[in-house]
Amino acid sequence: MKDDLGHPVPLDTPPRRIVSLVPSLSEALAVTVPERLAGVTDWCTHVAGLDLPRVRGTKNPDRAAIAALRPDLVVANQEENRRLDVERLRASGVPVWVTVIESVDEALRSMRRLFAEVLAVGEPDWLRTAADRWRRPAPGPRRKVAVPIWRDPWMVVGARTFTGDLLSRLGLDNIFGTGGERYPHVDLADIHAARPDLVLLPDEPYAFGPDDGPEAFPGTPAVLVPGRLLTWYGPSLATARGELAGMTGRPAAG
């Protein structure tokens, strides 16, 4: 089998012990094949009460701790995990499956491959529900949106991102979605100059809150949203459209 990057992954049988280095994938595995999940990162917060060995963070995984768990497979993501860690795990004999997700369609396709082809458990119900919920764009007039993900310095969601595609399906056009960078640094003045109709402030990776974020955008509606709804591509996709539609005042479906 070859992962989303086309790298061969030696698997004679469906893996029974899996370590996940991606919060979205951890939730997907915990919901679908909980008995196979052997370890997760410190940032894997879903499902609630996930009681499994922790292998540190997505950018600095403890490779010795991973090896000690004797995984048949480690699942990772091109954006969230470092190539160096993937290469060193493979060099030590640990198979690694790397996902590549820059759009909703890629997320759905990648998850289908993981569960149907790699794990041999078929397509989960939550994945079929998610595909149905996100199939059509929202009707009505479109609105311009900015999505900061950090401040001091300010960073925003840019081009070729899962988040940008997800928002587009809600009828929200990312004002920084046409440049060359996926998560560009910008000045606060640049956001104001682009005149968004709406600013979305997620609680991750920067924890924007009622007193930390909205005050920077006087005169522009600023909505605090769970970052999981914007960036996670596991079971949250099944409900994210309705939740985000309610928060942003957009129609839930076309």
Secondary structure (DSSP) of 174-200: ETTTTSS-SS-EE-HHHHHHH--SEEE
Q: Are residues 149 and 229 in the same domain?
A: yes
Residue 5 forms part of a structural domain: no
Residue 6 forms part of a structural domain: no
pLDDT given for residue 248 in this prediction: 82
pLDDT given for residue 253 in this prediction: 55
What is the greatest pairwise CA distance in the chain? Answer: 59
Reported pTM: 0.90
Give CA 202 to chain center in angstroms: 13
Q: Are residues 66 and 119 in the same domain?
A: yes
pLDDT given for residue 254 in this prediction: 45
pLDDT tens digits for 8-32?
A: 999 999 999 999 999 999 999 999 9
Q: What are phi and psi of 184, to 5 degrees?
A: -75, 150
pLDDT given for residue 139 in this prediction: 76
Residue 9 forms part of a structural domain: no
Domain CATH number, residue 238: 3.40.50.1980
pLDDT given for residue 13 in this prediction: 94
Q: Are residues 105 and 153 in the same domain?
A: no
Q: What is the mean pLDDT of the chain?
A: 94
Report the chain's terminal Cα–Cα distance, integer Å.
37
Q: Are residues 102 and 150 in the same domain?
A: no
Residue 138 forms part of a structural domain: no
Residue 202 forms part of a structural domain: yes
Q: Compute the average pLDDT of residues 143-160.
A: 96
Top-confidence residue, 169 or 180 = 169
Q: Compute the average pLDDT of residues 133-149.
A: 89
Top-confidence residue, 159 or 250 = 159
Instruction: Give me the amino acid identity at 151.
Output: R
Q: Which structural domain range is residue 108 located in?
A: 18-123
- Give how many domains the chain has, as a whole number: 2
Residue 137 forms part of a structural domain: no
Residues of the chain by 3-state class (helix, strand, coil), percent to 5: 35, 20, 45
Residue 88 forms part of a structural domain: yes
pLDDT tens digits for 233-242?
A: 999 999 999 9
Residue 11 forms part of a structural domain: no
Q: Are residues 22 and 106 in the same domain?
A: yes
